Amino acid sequence: MRIIAGKYKKSNLFSVPGKTSRPTTDYIKELLFSVIQDCQDQQILDLYSGSGGISFEALSRGAKFSTMVDFSDKAISTMKKNIEKLACSEQCRIHKKRATAFLKKTEQSFDLIFMDPPYEKNLVNKTISQIVENKRLKSGGKIAIEHSFREKIAAKYSDNTIFYKKNGDTAITILQFC
């Protein structure tokens, strides 16, 4: 797993050990960032972070700060190793919480929210609802979701969908809220 563009380009990252985490492929990262285009100076929230790979890619491409949220001890440990490797501790913060609990508690709002929940656990729409209900996305902000193609985004968000692409078992959906 590596960073594909920006100031940390070609840096290899540590992966979460075991089979509980799915690293985002280079193809999916390229796809996400080609649609998002610019994350310069943005506040990022990375839910279900795993190794933090998406956060580090965003920071490499100019994001101002990334908040990473995961509940797994293995994921937290891996994120810490990657932060140390990239020497970017001033640009990120880790929260060991469940995503929905974090969304209820935090008062911060974000420019861009990435989420990659475990596949087919009915977390996608639940998490989107928490983001919207708790006003965690700034006006004009985007939510980029990597999810199982079998777990459909709720119809009530169809007007907010600016991008959808299926690739094997994975789907990428990007929502924008004004």
Provide the domain limits for residue 101: 26-169
Residue 67 lies in a domain: yes
Residue 10 lies in a domain: no
- Please state, in angstroms and rounded to a whole number, the distance separating the CA atoms of residues 20 and 100: 19
pTM of this structure: 0.94
Residue 83 lies in a domain: yes
What pLDDT was estimated at residue 18? 82
What pLDDT was estimated at residue 149? 95
| 27 Cβ contact partners less than 8 Å away, ≥ 6 residues apart | 167
What pLDDT was estimated at residue 60? 96
What pLDDT was estimated at residue 136? 97
Residue 76 lies in a domain: yes
What pLDDT was estimated at residue 86? 97
Residue 174 lies in a domain: no
- b (16+ CB within 10 A) / e for 39-76: beebbbbbbbbbbbbbbbbbbbbebebbbbbbebebbb
What pLDDT was estimated at residue 1? 84
DSSP 118: P
Residue 39 lies in a domain: yes
Give kind and range of the element (H or E) at residue 167: strand 161-167
Per-residue pLDDT of the chain (178 residues; tens, 9 = 90+): 899 999 999 999 999 988 777 778 888 888 899 999 889 999 999 999 999 999 999 999 999 999 999 999 999 999 999 999 999 999 999 999 999 999 999 999 999 999 999 998 999 999 999 999 999 999 999 999 999 999 999 999 999 999 999 999 999 999 999 8
Residue 133 lies in a domain: yes
Residue 15 lies in a domain: no
Provide the number of structural domains found in the chain: 1
- Please state, in angstroms and rounded to a whole number, the distance separating the CA atoms of residues 147 and 62: 25
Kindly report the CATH number assigned to the domain that includes residue 34.
3.40.50.150
